[in-house]
Structure 1
Amino acid sequence: MKFFVEKMSLGFCGFFGRHFCQVMRQNFAQSCEKKLNDQINMELKACHQYLAMAYHFDRADISSPGMHKFFIQASAEEREHAEKIMKYMNKRGGAIILSSVPEPIPCFQSSLAALKHALQMEMEVNQHLLDLHTLAGKESDPNLCDFIEANFLQEQVDGQKVLADYIRQLERAQNEVGDYLFDKYMGATSGMHGDK
């Protein structure tokens, strides 16, 4: 009876659900689980930062609807990535651990500065994915390797190329008219990763 009461205090779903996850878990190293949790939190941090960037460009004194639209789409994509990894974690029997999201940078001096910051973030996220893929290989986890390859690696490279192109285009158009025209162009694009 004491065992049952202790387990009920943990919550029916908490104890029995977690127990089932452990039963179904196969070839999923704790190091990979930890690294996946880190990746989830990186994606959510990027989502939060892109959201802050989007609404910076929506301010009346900035008024860049194209940049606003671009960063809103980027924020949604990062959240999608985090959710995709969380669903995968549940399939593998892992425990999802969300950490607090750091405060984002609230404003940027220019569109160019924001795009350079976005490229830096994307490169950090990509490096973490590459490290995760390497770890999965060392842990002999082909399923995790396949998941990363199929869902993230090419998309990251494509997104980095788009950002690098935008940065170069904006560098060449550095005056108010050029900035205005670039923003109009951004409003007509379909985001970092195109239409899905």
Structure 2
Amino acid sequence: MCHSIQRLKPKPHLYIIFLLKDIPHSSPHTEIILIHSHHHHQSTTAATSTATTAATMLLRASPSTASFSLSTAVADNVNQFPSSSSFVSFSSQRRTDGFVMSVSKSESNNHSPVTGVVFEPFEEVKKELQLVPDLPQQSLARHKFTDDCEAAINEQINVEYNVSYVYHALYAYFDRDNVALKGFAKFFKEASVEEREHAELLMEYQNRRGGKVKLQSMLMPMSEFDHPEKGDALYAMELALSLEKLTNEKLLHLHSVADANSDVQLADFVESTFLTEQVEAIKKISEFVAQLRRIGKGHGVWHFDQMLLNA
């Protein structure tokens, strides 16, 4: 047993006595006894504060201790607040020359680490370090990204490009000199650009996750969109509505693939980038279809075209 006395403050009769008991490391126990005289008018609260300082010194002296908890007492009635793994208990006893406050530290069988001391980066990173590819043709950025998700993204890229291709054909049709509906031409050209941008966003995301973009072939779209009963304007807008709904179904399929592979990041990307916008596009074109059905094939189509042109 080792005894040491340390004066905390330049006040008489105020000492802390450390009793370091030589017992096995698996069950460390240390007591700190605070003794002060009746002549020193220090309250129990202040004494407890001093004992807390002593406990801090104990913690520094025994870094293996996981945590402490504070307990206060009057006479022999000890109120303890144990932690999950170890505790420091405070108790006080009156004496003729003052009182004695003891601070004891012990460890329970629960070895749960204190909050903030659970992450050992150099240990936990070892398994990730072994997964870093050495071959130059392998992606360094790829992480938790399955082949199914990679293939589904490439399929959606192809969908977006094909829809853009059809919209571009519609733009070319309405821009003809013998059709001359410039508003419809403008609308479908902007729609074509938007779908191409969606494809590019998917390509960027594919590269960001360490996948490989594989562009697929596209079929030649129609070049004539006139309909004997509906006319070209209504038929083209109904075709656009069908394409937007088809695109929405494909996006939902991509989202389901992400869910099936527990790819939260891909699911979030699809939700935040495409799904809300897709619902808005379907609603907008649905209104156009309803309005064109009211108009018919007559003079009203030209007024609708002017509305699109000036939008």
Mapping of residues 177-192 of structure 1, within 5 Å: 177-189=299-311
* Letter in structure 2 aligned against 1:66: G
- The TM-score with structure 1 as length reference comes to 0.85
The CA distance in 1 between the partners of 2:191 and 2:224, in whole Å, is: 16
How far apart are residue 101 of structure 1 and its match?
1.3
Which structure ranks higher in relative contact order (CA pairs < 8 Å, sequence separation ≥ 6)? 1
* Structure 2: 5+ residue stretches without partners: 1-134, 227-231
State the Cα RMSD in Å.
1.0
The structure with more radius of gyration: 2
Q: 2:237 aligns to what? A: 115
CA distance, structure 2, for counterparts of residue 118 and residue 105 of structure 1: 13
Deviation beyond 4 Å, 4+ runs, structure 1 = none
1:98 and 1:138 mapped to 2: Cα distance? 24
Match of 2:205 in 1: 88
The Cα of 1:176 is off from its aligned counterpart by 2.1
User: Higher strand share goes to which structure?
Assistant: 2
User: What's 2:181 paired with?
Assistant: 64
How many residues align structurally?
Answer: 172
Which digits, 9 at most, give the CA deviation of each residue in 1:154-176, with x for residues without a partner? Answer: 10000011110000001001132
Cα deviation 1:102-137 (Å, max 9, x = unaligned) = 101112111110111111111111101001111101
Kindly provide the amino acid, as one letter, of the partner of residue 72 in structure 1: K
User: Which consecutive residues of structure 1, in runs of 5 or more, have no partner in the other structure?
Assistant: 1-14, 190-196
Q: How far apart, CA to CA, are the structure 1 residues paired with 2:257 and 2:217?
A: 25
CA distance in 1 between counterparts of 2:253 and 2:297 reads 40
**Residue 172 of structure 2 corresponds to which residue in structure 1?**
55
For residues 292 and 141 of structure 2, what CA distance do their matches in structure 1 show?
51
Does 1:39 pair with 2:156?
A: yes
Name whichever structure is richer in helix by fraction.
Answer: 1
Q: How does 1:131-170 map to 2 (within 5 A)?
A: 131-170=253-292
Q: Is the partner of 1:24 in helix, strand or coil?
A: coil
Which residue is equivalent to 2:45?
Answer: none
Amino acid at match of 2:286: A
Q: 1:125 aligns with which of 247, 260, 265?
A: 247
- Distance, in Å, in 1 between the alignment partners of 2:152 and 2:240 is 22
